[in-house]
A = this chain, B = another copy of it.
Amino acid sequence: MAKVHNFSAGPCILPQEVFKEASQSVLDFDNLGLSILEISHRSENFVRVMEEARELVKELLNIPKGYTVLFLQGGASTGFLMAPYNLLTENGTAGYMNTGTWSTKAIKEAKKLGNVDVIVSSEDENFKYIPKDIQIPSGLDYVHYTANNTIYGTQFKKLPQTDNFLVCDMSSDIFSRPVTINAYDIIYAGAQKNIGPAGTTMYIVNEEVFNKSGRDIPSMLDFEVHHKKDSMFNTPSVFAVYVTMLNLRYMKANGGVEAMKKKAQERSEMIYNEIDENPLFEGYANKEDRSSMNATFTLTDESYKEKFDKLWKEANINGIKGHRSVGGYRASMYNALPIESVEALVNVMKKLRS
């Protein structure tokens, strides 16, 4: 089987070791003579998986007491709804920073439940940059932002300063760098980038968030309900949580988030150097706001498109077509992407100009 360099924006590459163990467990899990797909989520073997996954998250991100870790369903799009349901009071206001497509969607959902103040936005330049020196008013029910913007290739490098509850969608850069957990009150992330396969969503929630909105929250959207049931209020996405646990184990065995950060820097420096040196390419995002996870770039001369597309396809490169909102190319370089894959892409870019 040919080596494919997988730059998919998510679902994305995970370690080969994880695929091998997951594949085996679909046939026989824990030597039970049963597939991981047919065991009860209440069985001791799966309860152990769920517990280990939650404990590994706490360990890897150095999560202090008073926070709960949950593995739920519904993707970050359900997180867009859970944040206001749990924190936005009937007459209160939530502050949102609009830095891209996902922030825009989060704002849309929050507005269905109450008042939203868009504090800052980079929409004026098609989300090429991250707003700086943001003045966040006091007295908001919470403030929400998107840590990394997959589509535009921008990333917050500094923690926003606020005395309000702070909510962050970290779907696309969680576990790629250390996080000051106690600055946040809700962190949420769809699994399908650095966490695991599609089908589960991770939440890290300050227990002070429980009951803050004063609403009669539907059980499935209530953090306290899921916390009290250890993420087993209803049947969890068993296989997705299992593969997540394997991937978290792999991360821990390979140096944790500090090591992931170093690798992300190596990968992203390699590709951004080539983008800047190569006259045929241009980076999309402002340099100081460039994402270490998603590099967005376009051709300076569209007549090279056919040749470039042929070259990267021949090199077994997959998933670098840019999002329609930006055009051009996007190289997503999540934790499991080997440096050799970035080298393969850079070599193709070099070849184009030679």
Question: What residues of chain B lie closer than 8 Å to A80, measured between beta carbons?
Answer: 220
Q: Does A158 contact B (CB under 8 A)?
A: no
Of the 9-residue stretches A33-41, A86-94, A268-276, A277-285, which lies at the interface with chain B?
Answer: A33-41
Nearest chain B residue, comparing its CB with the CB of A233: B77
Partner of A37, one of B11, B109, B216, B236: B11
Cα distance, A330 to B221, chains bound together (Å): 31
Q: In the bound complex, do residue A27 and residue B32 qualify as a contact, i.e. CB atoms below 8 Å apart?
A: no
Copies in the complex: 2
- Kindly supply a per-residue 1/0 record for chain A positions 3-19, scoring 1 wherever the CB is within 8 Å of any chain B CB and 0 otherwise: 11010111111100001
Q: List 28 A-B contacts (CB under 8 A).
A: A2-B33, A3-B33, A6-B34, A8-B40, A10-B235, A12-B38, A14-B38, A23-B26, A26-B26, A37-B197, A37-B243, A73-B74, A73-B75, A73-B199, A77-B219, A78-B220, A81-B218, A81-B221, A105-B219, A109-B219, A112-B216, A113-B218, A190-B235, A197-B238, A197-B239, A199-B240, A237-B240, A240-B240
Residues on the B chain within 8 Å of A108, using CB:
219
A192 at interface, CB cutoff 8 A:
yes
> Which residues of chain B have C-beta atoms less than 8 A from A253's C-beta?
none
The A interface, classified by DSSP as helix, strand, loop or mixed, is: loop
Q: Are A319 and B40 in contact (CB under 8 A)?
A: yes
What residues of chain B lie closer than 8 Å to A113, measured between beta carbons? 218
- List the B side residues contacting A112 at CB < 8 Å: 216-218
